[in-house]
Amino acid sequence: MNLPIVVTIDGPAGTGKSSAASELAQRLGFDMLDTGAMYRAVALLAIESHIDARDERAIAAAMDRTPLTVDFSSRPPTIALDSRDVHGRIRDADVTQIVSLIASHHEVRVRLVRAQREVAAQHERLITEGRDQGSVVFPDATVRIWLDARPEVRAHRRCEELRARGELVDESRVLAEIIARDASDRGRSEGPLRKPVGADSIDTSGLSFAAVVDELERLVRRRLHETDVGCGCGGPA
């Protein structure tokens, strides 16, 4: 039997992390955990429970009452609050607006870090994507990757996504929002957004989506080969 493998992918918003991690997971036959979606689900829980986003204790109490689950039987996996699929709702603007504040709460992070480690314990091969996966949650992961891109490139990508969904966008506003969210994610005391010490990094600024996934696949296969873990995922080492 192969040893459990955890691959972490961290980086700021708009680097294409989620889509690239999802495609990589498909290629390698790994499961994929989108931890940003978990923070977004907690933000939605606060909104729906009419809890002020600054009220850490009330949010923690609501989390303790409400099961948050990830359904790995769908691709990509979906997220549920109290068995209700909220996958489509958690990308809405009201959630995006408060999620960084929600993610700065110690009581929220403690609970989600625990939940993420529980998920990893149940999956033999997991790619987990977020901000603190390689630095805080899985510092001993088999492979740790940091994805980054220039803010202007990230803003442009986010606008293309929104346009594809039929939304009207103001690119300079999206850029300002991305810079503000990065600053908030970098500045918080717990699980701040930063490159994990010793992680491999890829700058995706000049790369197409396919090139990012190719680069990730090459890197993961090489690291697994070097560490002699083997991924049992076919293809070249």
| Residue 114: its H or E element | helix 106-121
Residue nearer to ligand DC on the CB measure, 29 or 209:
209
Provide, rounded to whole angstroms, the least separation between the CB of residue 193 and ligand DC. Answer: 7
Q: What tokens does 38 get?
A: 């978990």
Q: How far apart are CA 32 and CA 15, in angstroms?
A: 17
Tokens of 190: 């717990």
**Residue type at position 80:** A
Do 88 and 138 contact (CB within 8 A), yes or no? no
Looking at the Cβ atoms of 46 and 231, the one nearer to ligand DC is: 46
Of residues 187 and 232, the one with the C-beta less far from ligand DC: 187
Q: How far is the CB of 155 from ligand DC (least distance, A)?
A: 13
- Which span sits near ligand DC by CB under 6 A: 1-9, 33-41, 80-88, 217-225? 33-41
Terminal CA-CA length for the chain: 18
Would you call 147 helix, strand, or coil by DSSP?
strand
Site residues (CB under 6 A) for ligand DC, limited to 122-161 = 130-133
> Judged by CB under 6 A, which of 5, 103, 178, 199 binds ligand DC?
103
Residue number with CB closer to ligand DC (13 or 44): 13
Is residue 35 at the binding interface for ligand DC, with CB under 6 A as the rule? Answer: yes
Interaction mask 170-189, ligand DC, x per CB under 6 A: -----------x---x----
Cβ proximity to ligand DC, 13 vs 231, nearer residue: 13
Bin 230: left if φ > 0, else alpha if -120 < ψ < 50, else beta: left
* Two tokens, residue 16: 């294409």
Residue in this structure with the two tokens 């489509």, named with its chain if needed: 88
- Please report, as ranges, the residues that interact with ligand DC according to CB under 6 A: 13, 35-36, 39-40, 99-100, 103, 130-133, 181, 185, 191
